[in-house]
A and B are shown apart, each in its own frame.
Chain A
């Protein structure tokens, strides 16, 4: 049965890769290789390798906490840990081999420990409606934000507090917090809403896309404005840094919205969009990638127009 599940996973992966097309796949492969090279080089330096190993362990834990197939696996398999361990170990092969290469045995132990712990967590945290007072501040039209903030509320608050607290000690704290927040909110735009959500706005395609982009930018700006002001108050000589950063982030947001609707399928998790949004996220970490997102944004704009036309042509 475990083999059967792993085969299904492999098939899902192949389908996802087919969905993004050969050229984008090769591009992503190149990017991944580049990212892996950076990680590999950093593993050779102390204490950076500890940060990488701990960060990776937390990533595995976070993936495990969010996966929604735990109940399904429990029904069909007695020892679900076998599936979890097999998947996480396969996913970790490049990092484990690199760690073995550098003989970082403590790091290796840490990663194995995190994987071991993850396998025994059998629940998925439920999203609640507890923080409704904050959610009400978000306009009803921004359902992606209402949904996303509810889901990531604790994480967002933690990063805001860390940014404010860290700002007292070093100048990079707030720019890093803004960057991490932007990476979180990009994930709000990875699910295709029902077609009814699009149609009830009763706007043409261009206006719809423009509205979505403006809404994304406004919501994010409102979220990070206190951080920006605090940064300028503490480090007025670097006032331009958050503005340049925000400008870069806005370009990525435009890319993410156009990407979403270029691959939009009603009521589905947009696999191609999820994969390709990695390019946007990477261009925030590696700014020389930004022109790639500009070019792709133009491409995805035209693709969005044709993809949304069946739903919105009546309102043009």
Chain B
């Protein structure tokens, strides 16, 4: 289990991106983190992975300090070194047991081609294969469905559900709620740097309706003010 206690992270002294956030993430579950753009999702994940140093607070995994050794991390934007092939990229990840060819049957990537010639969706798939090859007990996936086609999105969902069964703790963010409701065991809503609500699977539908109604109500007047008419 990952325990986050009173976590505060800021880029400048004035603005705290994560503000005294506490959260418990159970192993063997898929946790969704949802929030508007700029709510603090990526900052939270980068801090969990240890790329950002918190101002205060602690993060532990099963009672010990969390370490990159235990985590596979997929960043939102995937950057690769220019002029290397997909296969060369994957070979950087050390895991002899991982059978690249078998896995790639799911993703269908031209691994002997230069990554520079890949589409953005293909780059996302390659980055995902890298994280899967790492085979760490904790997987942090920041917007993994961005840029994926419908088929691969569905395949990824099935893979993550299988990995969950092996006891992995999986954290997934998305700014599209629907991608999380059919995958996660619980969803944590982040706003202004704190988790303001955690919803369990049986409550997803009601929460979705409630959230969409709230957003539509808020924007109704603004849209009508635009004066769009036939």
Q: Which residues of A contact B (CB under 8 A)?
A: 127-129, 132, 140-141, 143-144, 146-148, 150-151, 191, 193-197, 199-200, 202, 266-267, 310-311, 313-315
Decide yes or no whether B73 CB sits under 8 A from chain A.
Answer: yes
B51 contact set on A, CB distance < 8 A? 195, 310-311
Contact yes or no, B92 A200, CB < 8 A: yes
B203 contact set on A, CB distance < 8 A? none
Q: Mark B35-78, 1 if CB is under 8 A from A, else 0.
A: 00000000000000011110000000000000111000101011
In the complex, what distance in Å separates the CA atom of A132 from the CA atom of B78? 24
B68 contact set on A, CB distance < 8 A? 199, 202, 314-315
List 7 extra interface pairs beyond A147-B82, A311-B51, CB under 8 A: A140-B91, A140-B92, A143-B89, A146-B83, A146-B84, A196-B127, A267-B79
A202 contact set on B, CB distance < 8 A? 68-69, 94
In the complex, what distance in Å separates the CA atom of A148 from the CA atom of B84? 9
Using CB atoms, name the residue of chain B closest to A194.
B79
CB distance from B82 to the nearest CB of A (A): 6
Q: Identify 22 residue pairs between A and B in the complex whose beta-carbon atoms are under 8 Å apart, listed by A's number.
A: A127-B83, A129-B112, A129-B113, A129-B114, A141-B92, A143-B81, A143-B92, A147-B81, A147-B83, A147-B84, A194-B79, A196-B127, A197-B92, A200-B92, A200-B94, A267-B77, A310-B50, A310-B53, A311-B51, A314-B50, A314-B69, A315-B69
B112 contact set on A, CB distance < 8 A? 129, 132
Decide yes or no whether B85 CB sits under 8 A from chain A.
Answer: yes
CB distance from A159 to the nearest CB of B (A): 19
A151 contact set on B, CB distance < 8 A? 82-83
| Contact with B81, one of A128, A129, A193, A313 (Cβ below 8 angstroms) | A193
A144 contact set on B, CB distance < 8 A? 81
Decide yes or no whether B130 CB sits under 8 A from chain A.
Answer: yes
B128 contact set on A, CB distance < 8 A? none
Contact yes or no, A194 B80, CB < 8 A: yes
Using CB atoms, name the residue of chain B closest to A151.
B83
In the complex, what distance in Å separates the CA atom of A1 from the CA atom of B178? 45
CB distance from B130 to the nearest CB of A (A): 7
In the complex, what distance in Å separates the CA atom of A196 from the CA atom of B77? 12
A194 contact set on B, CB distance < 8 A? 75, 78-81
Decide yes or no whether B88 CB sits under 8 A from chain A.
Answer: yes
A143 contact set on B, CB distance < 8 A? 81, 84, 88-89, 92
Secondary structure at the A interface, as helix, strand, loop or mixed, is helix
Decide yes or no whether B205 CB sits under 8 A from chain A.
Answer: no
Using CB atoms, name the residue of chain B closest to A147.
B83
Contact yes or no, A200 B93, CB < 8 A: yes
Decide yes or no whether B134 CB sits under 8 A from chain A.
Answer: yes
CB distance from B42 to the nearest CB of A (A): 13
In the complex, what distance in Å separates the CA atom of A144 from the CA atom of B80? 11
Using CB atoms, name the residue of chain A closest to B133.
A200
Decide yes or no whether B208 CB sits under 8 A from chain A.
Answer: no
CB distance from A147 to the nearest CB of B (A): 4
Decide yes or no whether B101 CB sits under 8 A from chain A.
Answer: no
CB distance from A146 to the nearest CB of B (A): 5
In the complex, what distance in Å separates the CA atom of A151 from the CA atom of B114? 12
Contact yes or no, B85 A197, CB < 8 A: no
Contact yes or no, A314 B81, CB < 8 A: no
CB distance from B52 to the nearest CB of A (A): 8
| Contact with B79, one of A200, A266, A311 (Cβ below 8 angstroms) | A266
CB distance from A249 to the nearest CB of B (A): 23
Contact yes or no, B91 A191, CB < 8 A: no
Contact yes or no, B83 A140, CB < 8 A: no
CB distance from B118 to the nearest CB of A (A): 12
Decide yes or no whether B149 CB sits under 8 A from chain A.
Answer: no
CB distance from A145 to the nearest CB of B (A): 10
CB distance from A104 to the nearest CB of B (A): 39
Contact yes or no, B81 A200, CB < 8 A: no
In the complex, what distance in Å separates the CA atom of A139 from the CA atom of B85? 13
B67 contact set on A, CB distance < 8 A? 314
CB distance from B85 to the nearest CB of A (A): 6
B75 contact set on A, CB distance < 8 A? 194-196
B94 contact set on A, CB distance < 8 A? 200, 202
Contact yes or no, A129 B93, CB < 8 A: no
Chain B CB count within 10 A is highest, among A128, A143, A311, for: A143
CB distance from A268 to the nearest CB of B (A): 9
What 6 pairs between A and B have smallest CB-CB spacing? A147-B83, A140-B91, A267-B79, A194-B79, A314-B68, A314-B67
In the complex, what distance in Å separates the CA atom of A267 from the CA atom of B134? 21
A129 contact set on B, CB distance < 8 A? 85, 112-114
